[in-house]
C-alpha cells in the first residue's frame, strides 16, 4: 500500500476483496456509516439489501422508457391518422380515424420505442460500451463474476484519503486491499 503517487488524480480508488457476501454487505454498511458516499460493490449475484446500503435509487432509465413509450404511441397513432386523413378512402362509410383499428400499430410502436429508449438510456447512463476500466487492471477482479465480492471507495469521495480508506477497508477482514490507479487503455 505504500506506493508513491505523483498526483492524486492518478488514484482511482481503493478496492477490497471479500470471500463471502455477508462480509461485503457488512463492509459496505460500515463504509457508509464512516461517511463515505462514493463507493460501489461488485458481486457475482444480487445481494439482498446491498442496493439500499449503496443508496442506489436512480430511476432515470424507467423515466426514459416511459417517455419512449408515450412518444411511440403518439407516433403510431399519428402516423395512421395522418395517412387516413391525407389520403382518404371511404369504405362502407367507416370513419377515417378508426381508433380500434389503429390500436395494434399504436401498441407495437409503443413497445418498440419504449424498449429502444430504455436500452439507449441504460447504455448512455452507464457510459457503455466501455472497453476499458481501471478495475480491469486488477487481476483478481475477474473473479467478481465467479465467486468473489469487491468493495471500492472512489478517490472522488469528499472524505477520501488513500491511507485512511485502506486502513478502514483492511479492518473489514478482507482477503486483500488494493490501490487502483487510473490507467491508459491498451492500444
| pLDDT tens digits for range 156-172 | 999 999 999 999 999 99
Per-residue model confidence (pLDDT) at position 87: 95
Which runs of consecutive H residues, i.e. helices, occur in 19-127?
21-33, 50-53, 60-86, 99-125
Diameter over CA atoms, the chain: 85
Cell numbers linked to 47: 445481494
Q: Which residues contact 47 (CB under 8 A, 6 or more apart)?
A: 21, 24, 25, 41, 149
| pLDDT tens digits for range 94-131 | 899 999 999 999 999 999 999 999 999 999 999 898 88
Q: Which SS3 state, helix, strand or coil, does residue 90 take?
A: coil
pTM score: 0.75
In the chain the domains, ranked by start, together with CATH numbers, are 8-57+130-181 (3.30.70), 60-125 (no CATH)
Tracing cell 461488485 back to the chain, one arrives at 42
Average pLDDT over residues 62-80: 98
When pLDDT is cut at 50, 70 and 90, the band that residue 5 belongs to is: very low
User: Strand 149-154's sheet: what is its strand order?
Assistant: 39-42, 149-154, 11-18, 176-181
Q: How many CA atoms are closer than 13 Å to the CA of 121, on its beta-carbon side?
A: 17
Decide if 176 contacts 14 (C-beta within 8 A).
no
Amino acid at each position: 500500500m505504500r506506493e508513491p503517487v505523483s498526483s492524486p488524480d492518478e488514484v482511482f480508488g481503493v478496492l477490497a476483496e471479500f470471500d463471502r457476501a455477508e462480509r461485503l454487505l457488512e463492509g459496505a454498511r460500515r463504509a457508509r456509516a464512516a461517511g463515505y458516499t462514493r463507493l460501489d460493490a461488485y458481486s457475482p449475484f444480487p445481494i439482498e439489501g446491498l442496493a439500499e446500503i449503496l443508496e442506489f435509487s436512480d430511476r432515470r432509465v424507467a423515466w426514459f422508457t416511459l417517455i419512449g413509450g408515450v412518444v411511440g404511441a403518439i407516433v403510431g397513432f399519428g402516423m395512421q391518422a395522418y395517412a387516413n386523413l391525407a389520403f382518404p378512402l371511404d369504405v362502407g362509410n367507416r370513419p377515417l380515424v378508426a381508433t380500434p383499428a389503429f390500436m395494434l400499430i399504436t401498441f407495437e410502436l409503443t413497445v418498440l420505442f419504449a424498449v429502444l429508449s430504455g436500452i439507449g438510456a441504460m447504455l448512455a447512463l452507464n457510459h457503455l460500451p466501455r472497453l476499458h476500466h481501471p478495475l480491469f487492471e486488477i487481476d483478481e477482479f475477474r473473479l467478481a463474476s465467479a465467486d468473489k465480492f469487491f468493495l471500492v471507495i472512489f478517490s472522488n469521495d469528499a472524505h477520501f484519503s488513500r491511507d485512511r480508506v485502506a486502513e478502514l477497508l483492511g479492518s473489514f477482514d478482507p482477503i486483500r486491499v488494493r490501490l487502483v490507479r487510473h490507467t491508459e487503455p491498451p492500444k
